[in-house]
């Protein structure tokens, strides 16, 4: 196997510079190259690399990707005076010409191809090319975003042609979307393009719809374009690592590339004025290290962006050090990706599931979801809760009229279902673990939620109602077990195998409910083995906040902790406590245990008795005897 690391640097590429004032372009300075190279020298990395000279890319090579019109326009800049250069530059979105720009851009292309040749010929195992101008925004027919020719795209076409490669992976860790590269390979299944980028819901440059996660490629190229948009700034080491673990690496190993090219922008590193991200230079050592495990180590790293000179040059050094095989530095700090990152990762995974087997395994889900209807009061929640976008009005109407028309009579209820269903769907799809929805009519919301879950395929749903609600009889009999906790006996509703009415009014001190939870609810729930638990809190609840929190906390041991809370009471204290219990934060303190009154003990006993009789038929597919199986001895 080949060994050694190539380094390509040609001082001439520092001659391309901005000649007039332009606040958009003035960060793309020659010092980006020279400072990086100086830092490499400083760490004695240059002398450890194999020096490979740059060369000019030929016209033919440039035409592998670009139109002759584009090449001619660029060529024409060579002989222009400053005024003409300025005018020509004005034709493009964020590009500047200098009399030496064309020459530098050809050197940048040629340097990249030299690196590919050094790696493909086995002269070295891997390497890095420090080039300017960068390339990944450049399109077939136009320059933009400081890029004239698409160095990396040309390199991929060149490698296909010259070495007959059939699978090339391009990893674009620059903070901007390499839309140029995406367009060039959109329909090409032989080039897998991965890019993460600052996106902020299309607010950030280049602000394109097609930079989102749902742009997966076109035609034969479907599945071979992977966009991971960052919708928040401040992404750090753990977010980048999570992106590699849960998106890029599974797909990359399944793809099994013959060569890996990195569009290596360091504007995704800490301190960069463009990226506003937090990843430290060490993370690039890790990213490099992971990519070295592919394609037999054939890895070519080509510089793109990076505008904070210190951050840039340190990150370049980390990359080259790792290419040379040095130990990978430790990463310190927060190791959990942020909610926004997880959301992006889940979205892109979902978009690509049809194309990649290795995306099948489950990612640890987000703990708790609520809807954006909470935005105003979200800060009141004591814990990080993932906000879900509500379903829109027409969508709900179609859904409800199709399946739930008999349950939903009022328009205002109909609209409130938008947030309920959005959260429930996230739970059903296992994108989040649990969720909270507010509802002006809990009984209706729950009826819809239950039928929705059964329609989705859940076979055993446990539903605990708390409060005075007219419970809507469900038509999914056999797939739902209801436990109704209320103060008064519900008229005309006898307990049955699938409906249990538990009349319980918590004592003023509010902790005798423990005995009902431990003595009845939990044993029943455990014997039922639900695959989803819905807990609804309606008006006139007979339990206090502590009792309700207890239910949420203890029932999380069931249904893989999949719990959906529907709460009619909008009292913020209750919401806070439920949110706390759902994310697993501390429980309210329960105080001294007060035993239930004899009357309540008797009532529980009777219920258990009844229940045991009914339960003799057994739950479909669930455990042995309902209560005795748990070691509870019931005497007649």
Pick what 94 binds: ligand X5A, Zn ion, none; C-beta below 5 to 8 Å, kind-dependent: ligand X5A
CB atoms within 10 A of CB 38: 12
Tell the residue number behind the tokens 């400053």, with chain if given: 82
One DSSP character per residue, 596-620 reads PPHHHHHHHHHHHHHHHHHHTT--T
As given in the structure block, the two tokens for residue 431 are 């994108």
Comparing CB distances to ligand X5A, the nearer of 2 and 309 is: 309
State the Cα–Cα distance between residues 148 and 133, nearest whole angstrom.
7
Q: Which residues contact 452 (CB under 8 A, 6 or more apart)?
A: 403, 404, 421, 424, 428
Interface with Zn ion in residues 536-555 (CB under 5 A)? none
- Beta-strand runs (E) in 389-466: 432-438, 461-466
Shortest Å, Cβ 383 to ligand X5A = 37
Q: Which stretch binds Zn ion (CB under 5 A): 13-21, 218-226, 302-310, 347-355?
A: 302-310
Comparing CB distances to ligand X5A, the nearer of 21 and 620 is: 21
Choose the catalytic residue: 66, 98, 137, 176: 137
Residue among 4, 127, 178, 265 that touches Zn ion (CB under 5 A): 265
Shortest Å, Cβ 190 to ligand X5A = 24
As given in the structure block, the two tokens for residue 631 are 């070691």
Shortest Å, Cβ 173 to Zn ion = 10
- Whether 125 contacts 2, CB under 8 Å: yes
Comparing CB distances to ligand X5A, the nearer of 12 and 93 is: 93
- Whether 177 contacts 203, CB under 8 Å: no
Task: Report the interface residues with ligand X5A, using CB under 6 A.
Answer: 24, 94, 134, 137, 145-147, 174, 176, 205, 265, 267, 304-305
Size of the site for Zn ion (CB under 5 A): 5
Shortest Å, Cβ 198 to ligand X5A = 10
Comparing CB distances to Zn ion, the nearer of 309 and 594 is: 309
Pick what 134 binds: Zn ion, ligand X5A, none; C-beta below 5 to 8 Å, kind-dependent: ligand X5A
As given in the structure block, the two tokens for residue 79 are 């002989």
State the Cα–Cα distance between residues 136 and 153, nearest whole angstrom.
8
Q: Is 137 a catalytic residue?
A: yes
As given in the structure block, the two tokens for residue 425 are 């769907």
Q: Which stretch binds Zn ion (CB under 5 A): 46-54, 63-71, 176-184, 355-363?
A: 176-184
Q: What is the rounded (10 degree) CA torsion for 514, 515, 518, 522?
A: -90
Residue among 117, 157, 174, 212 that touches Zn ion (CB under 5 A): 174
Q: Nearest CA to 120 among 161, 86, 89?
A: 161
Pick what 615 binds: ligand X5A, Zn ion, none; C-beta below 5 to 8 Å, kind-dependent: none
- Beta-strand runs (E) in 538-611: 563-567
Shortest Å, Cβ 26 to Zn ion = 15
Q: Is 51 exposed, middle or buried (0-12, 13-18, 19+ CB in 10 A)?
A: exposed
Comparing CB distances to ligand X5A, the nearer of 24 and 208 is: 24
Shortest Å, Cβ 179 to Zn ion = 11
What's the number of CA atoms in the CB half-sphere (13 Å) around residue 241?
Answer: 20
Asked if 223 interacts with Zn ion (CB under 5 A), we say: no
Residue among 98, 106, 176, 386 that touches Zn ion (CB under 5 A): 176
Q: Nearest CA to 509 among 592, 571, 599?
A: 592
CB atoms within 10 A of CB 394: 8
Comparing CB distances to ligand X5A, the nearer of 265 and 538 is: 265
Asked if 127 interacts with Zn ion (CB under 5 A), we say: no
Shortest Å, Cβ 93 to ligand X5A = 8
Q: Which stretch binds Zn ion (CB under 5 A): 58-66, 175-183, 315-323, 371-379?
A: 175-183
Q: What is the rounded (10 degree) CA torsion for 157, 160, 166, 169?
A: -50
Comparing CB distances to Zn ion, the nearer of 288 and 453 is: 288
As given in the structure block, the two tokens for residue 468 are 């005075």
Q: Which residues contact 327 (CB under 8 A, 6 or more apart)?
A: none
Shortest Å, Cβ 242 to Zn ion = 21
Pick what 199 binds: Zn ion, ligand X5A, none; C-beta below 5 to 8 Å, kind-dependent: none
Which residue's CB comes closest to Zn ion? 305
Residue 386's DSSP bridge partners are 369
Contacts made by residues 200-203, CB under 8 angstroms, sequence distance 24+: 200/230, 200/231, 200/232, 200/233, 201/231
Interface with Zn ion in residues 584-623 (CB under 5 A)? none
Pick what 258 binds: ligand X5A, Zn ion, none; C-beta below 5 to 8 Å, kind-dependent: none
Shortest Å, Cβ 178 to ligand X5A = 8
Comparing CB distances to Zn ion, the nearer of 284 and 611 is: 284
As given in the structure block, the two tokens for residue 290 are 């992971």
Which residue's CB comes closest to ligand X5A? 305
Shortest Å, Cβ 193 to ligand X5A = 15
Comparing CB distances to ligand X5A, the nearer of 146 and 564 is: 146
Comparing CB distances to Zn ion, the nearer of 287 and 543 is: 287
Pick what 198 binds: Zn ion, ligand X5A, none; C-beta below 5 to 8 Å, kind-dependent: none
Tell the residue number behind the tokens 């759902």, with chain if given: 582
Tell the residue number behind the tokens 């339960």, with chain if given: 615
Measured CA distances, 453 to 338, 426, 457, 484, 564 (Å): 29, 11, 6, 19, 11
As given in the structure block, the two tokens for residue 388 are 């879900």
Q: Which residues contact 385 (CB under 8 A, 6 or more apart)?
A: 368, 369, 370, 374, 378, 436, 579, 583
Asked if 198 interacts with Zn ion (CB under 5 A), we say: no
Pick what 608 binds: ligand X5A, Zn ion, none; C-beta below 5 to 8 Å, kind-dependent: none
Shortest Å, Cβ 7 to ligand X5A = 20
As given in the structure block, the two tokens for residue 13 are 């590429």
Q: Where are the alpha helices (DSSP H) in 90-150?
A: 101-120
Pick what 185 binds: ligand X5A, Zn ion, none; C-beta below 5 to 8 Å, kind-dependent: none
Residue among 10, 267, 343, 390 that touches Zn ion (CB under 5 A): 267
Asked if 28 interacts with Zn ion (CB under 5 A), we say: no
- Whether 371 contacts 260, CB under 8 Å: no
Comparing CB distances to ligand X5A, the nearer of 177 and 298 is: 177
Footprint of Zn ion (CB under 5 A): 174, 176, 265, 267, 305
Supply the residues annotated as catalytic.
137
């Amino acid at each position: 196997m080949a060994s050694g690391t190539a380094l390509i640097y040609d001082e001439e590429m520092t001659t391309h510079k901005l000649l007039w004032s332009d606040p958009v372009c003035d960060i793309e300075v020659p010092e980006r190259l020279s400072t990086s190279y100086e830092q490499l020298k400083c760490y004695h990395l240059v002398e450890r690399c194999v020096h490979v000279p740059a060369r000019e890319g030929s016209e033919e090579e440039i035409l592998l990707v670009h139109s002759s019109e584009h090449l001619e326009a660029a060529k024409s800049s060579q002989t222009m005076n400053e005024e003409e250069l300025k005018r020509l530059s004005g034709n493009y979105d964020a590009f500047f010409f200098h009399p030496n720009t064309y020459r530098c851009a050809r050197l940048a292309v040629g340097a990249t191809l030299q690196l590919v040749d050094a790696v493909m010929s086995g002269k070295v195992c891997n390497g890095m090319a420090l080039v300017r101008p960068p390339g990944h925004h450049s399109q077939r027919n136009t320059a933009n975003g400081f890029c004239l020719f698409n160095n990396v795209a040309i390199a991929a076409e060149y490698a296909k042609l010259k070495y007959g490669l059939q699978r090339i992976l391009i990893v674009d860790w620059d903070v901007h979307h390499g839309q140029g590269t995406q367009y060039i390979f959109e329909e090409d299944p032989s080039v897998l393009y991965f890019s993460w980028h600052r996106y902020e819901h299309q607010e950030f440059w280049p602000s394109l719809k097609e930079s989102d996660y749902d742009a997966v490629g076109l035609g034969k190229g479907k599945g071979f374009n992977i966009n991971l948009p960052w919708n928040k700034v401040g992404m750090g080491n753990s977010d980048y690592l999570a992106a590699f673990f849960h998106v890029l690496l599974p797909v990359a190993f399944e793809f099994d590339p013959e060569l890996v090219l990195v569009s290596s922008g360091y504007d995704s590193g800490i301190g960069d004025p463009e990226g506003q991200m937090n990843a430290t230079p060490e993370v690039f050592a890790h990213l490099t290290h992971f990519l070295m495990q592919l394609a037999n180590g054939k890895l070519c790293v080509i510089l793109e962006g990076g505008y904070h000179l210190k951050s840039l040059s340190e990150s370049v050094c980390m990359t080259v050090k790792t290419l040379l095989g040095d130990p990978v530095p430790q990463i310190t700090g927060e190791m959990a990706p942020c909610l926004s990152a997880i959301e992006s990762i889940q979205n892109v995974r979902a978009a690509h599931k049809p194309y990649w087997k290795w995306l099948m395994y489950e990612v640890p889900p987000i703990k708790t979801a609520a809807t954006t209807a909470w935005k105003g009061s979200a800060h009141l929640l004591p814990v990080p809760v993932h906000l879900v976008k509500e379903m829109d009005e027409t969508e709900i109407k179609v859904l409800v009229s199709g399946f739930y028309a008999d349950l939903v009579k009022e328009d205002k209820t109909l609209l409130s279902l938008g947030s309920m269903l959005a959260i429930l769907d996230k739970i059903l799809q296992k994108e989040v673990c649990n969720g909270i929805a507010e509802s002006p009519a809990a009984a209706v919301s729950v009826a819809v939620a239950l039928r929705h879950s059964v329609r989705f395929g859940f076979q055993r749903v446990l539903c605990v109602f708390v409060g005075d609600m007219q419970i809507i009889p469900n038509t999914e009999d056999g797939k739902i077990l209801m436990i109704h906790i209320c103060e008064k006996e519900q008229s005309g509703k006898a307990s049955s195998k699938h409906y249990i009415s538990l009349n319980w009014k918590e004592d003023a001190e509010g902790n005798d409910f423990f005995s009902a939870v431990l003595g009845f609810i939990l044993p029943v729930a455990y014997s039922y083995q639900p695959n989803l638990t819905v807990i609804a809190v309606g008006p006139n609840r007979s339990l206090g906040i502590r009792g309700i929190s207890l239910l949420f906390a203890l029932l999380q041991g069931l249904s893989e902790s999949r719990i959906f809370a529907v709460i009619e009471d909008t009292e913020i204290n209750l919401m806070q406590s439920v949110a706390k219990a759902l994310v697993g934060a501390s429980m309210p303190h329960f105080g001294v245990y007060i035993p239930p009154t004899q009357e309540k003990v008797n009532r529980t006993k009777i219920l258990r008795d009844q229940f045991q009789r009914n339960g003799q038929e057994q739950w479909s597919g669930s455990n042995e005897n309902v209560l005795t199986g748990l070691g509870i001895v019931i005497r007649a």
